[in-house]
């Protein structure tokens, strides 16, 4: 427990809060860097995901690419891009964005796919245009899964942004590598705890957000038992939608 005491002292030491390498600056860097990469990935992945989800075309290609991207080791991608682009912020931004795309893409089209086909057919039969169906039916009903995708992308990016400090002078990861170099365990552990705290805070925010975006009519039909049963949701068999309210 002594080690944690040292790490806590390091976190609370006012000397670590000053200057361009201080905790607040590194924390903001880490956060801004993460948010920028996730937003950039969203701008690419969400429109493509919606298109795949709505038309049902290109799904197998999307599954294959996102599966393949997931197997690529993040450290390998970071170091390779760093050798190409040179040391600086460019390499990690590219790598982080690439890594954030697959989960967001999967969330976007899976959200559309989980909707009962009869709901969409009903929307079409009452005279909604395709763009109305996308905007008023598919996007709201698919939102929880999209947010889940953005959530796992964000967690992935936070973790990788820590690693990015290996190739660029950025973020909370600097404390980990600086401590490693000088064998300062308090700094390493303190920095690690800060990253963990940041990740868990964002995880908490996303958990709340995921609950808030469930449309009201859907939320009332969802019981804990249903959720336990929907282990592997068959497309179009989402119990929350098929069973309605009880």
Partner 1 sequence: MTWIWANLDLLWDRTLDHLVLSVPPIMLSFLIAVPLGWLANRYRAGRGVILTASGLLYAIPSLPLFFVIPAVVGTSLRSPLNLVIALTLYGVALMVRVVADGLASVDEDVRQSAVAVGYSGWSTFWQVELPLAGPVLLAGLRVVAVSTVSLATVGAVIGAQSLGSLFTDGFQRGIQAEIIAGIVLTVALALLLDGALVLLGRLLLPWTRLAATSRRALRVSRSAEGSG
Binding site for partner 1 (CB under 8 A): 3-4, 7, 68, 70-80, 82-84, 116-118, 121, 155, 158-159, 162-163, 166-167, 173, 176-177, 180, 185, 188-189, 191-193, 195-196, 199-200, 203, 224, 228-229, 231-232, 234, 236-237, 242
Q: What minimum distance in Å lies between the beta carbon of 159 and partner 1?
A: 3
Query: Nearer to partner 1 by C-beta: 140 or 236?
Result: 236
How many other CB atoms are there within 10 angstroms of residue 112's CB atom?
25
Instruction: Of 92, 136, 142, 83, give the one whose Cα is nearest residue 112.
Output: 142
Is residue 11 within 8 Å of 23, Cβ to Cβ? Answer: yes
Q: What angle do CA 129, 147, 216 make, to 5 degrees?
A: 65
Query: Nearer to partner 1 by C-beta: 48 or 185?
Result: 185
Q: What minimum distance in Å lies between the beta carbon of 11 and partner 1?
A: 13
Q: What minimum distance in Å lies between the beta carbon of 69 and partner 1?
A: 10
Q: What minimum distance in Å lies between the beta carbon of 174 and partner 1?
A: 12
Rg (CA), the chain: 21
Q: What minimum distance in Å lies between the beta carbon of 168 and partner 1?
A: 12
Query: Nearer to partner 1 by C-beta: 27 or 155?
Result: 155
Query: Nearer to partner 1 by C-beta: 118 or 182?
Result: 118
Is residue 195 within 8 Å of 31, Cβ to Cβ? Answer: no
Q: What minimum distance in Å lies between the beta carbon of 47 and partner 1?
A: 27
Buried b (16+ CB within 10 A) or exposed e, 63-83: beebeeeeeeebeebbbebbe
DSSP at 233: P
Angstrom CA distances, 112 to 146, 160, 182, stand at: 9, 29, 51
Query: Nearer to partner 1 by C-beta: 44 or 180?
Result: 180
Query: Nearer to partner 1 by C-beta: 5 or 220?
Result: 5
- Tell me how far apart the alpha carbons of residues 124 and 137 are, in angstroms, rounded to a whole number: 10
């Amino acid at each position: 427990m002594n080690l944690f005491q040292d790490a806590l002292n390091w976190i609370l030491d006012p000397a670590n809060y000053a200057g361009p390498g201080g905790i607040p600056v590194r924390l903001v860097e880490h956060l801004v860097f993460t948010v920028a990469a996730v937003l950039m990935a969203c701008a690419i992945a969400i429109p493509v995901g919606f298109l795949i989800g709505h038309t049902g075309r290109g799904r197998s290609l999307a599954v294959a690419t996102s599966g393949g991207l997931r197997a690529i080791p993040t450290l390998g991608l970071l170091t390779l891009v760093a050798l190409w682009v040179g040391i600086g912020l460019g390499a990690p931004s590219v790598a982080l964005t690439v890594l954030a795309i697959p989960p967001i893409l999967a969330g976007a089209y899976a959200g559309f796919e989980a909707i009962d086909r009869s709901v969409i057919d009903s929307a079409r039969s009452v005279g909604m245009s395709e763009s109305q169906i996308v905007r008023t039916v598919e996007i709201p009903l698919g939102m929880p899964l999209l947010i889940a995708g953005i959530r796992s992308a964000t967690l992935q990016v936070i973790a990788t942004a820590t690693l990015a400090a290996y190739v660029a002078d950025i973020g909370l990861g600097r404390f980990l590598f600086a401590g490693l170099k000088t064998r300062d365990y308090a700094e390493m552990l303190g920095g690690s705890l800060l990253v963990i705290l940041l990740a868990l805070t964002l995880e908490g925010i996303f958990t709340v957000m995921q609950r808030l975006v469930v449309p009201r009519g859907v939320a009332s039909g969802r019981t804990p038992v249903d959720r336990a049963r929907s282990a592997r949701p068959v497309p179009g068999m989402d119990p929350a939608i098929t069973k309605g309210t009880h």
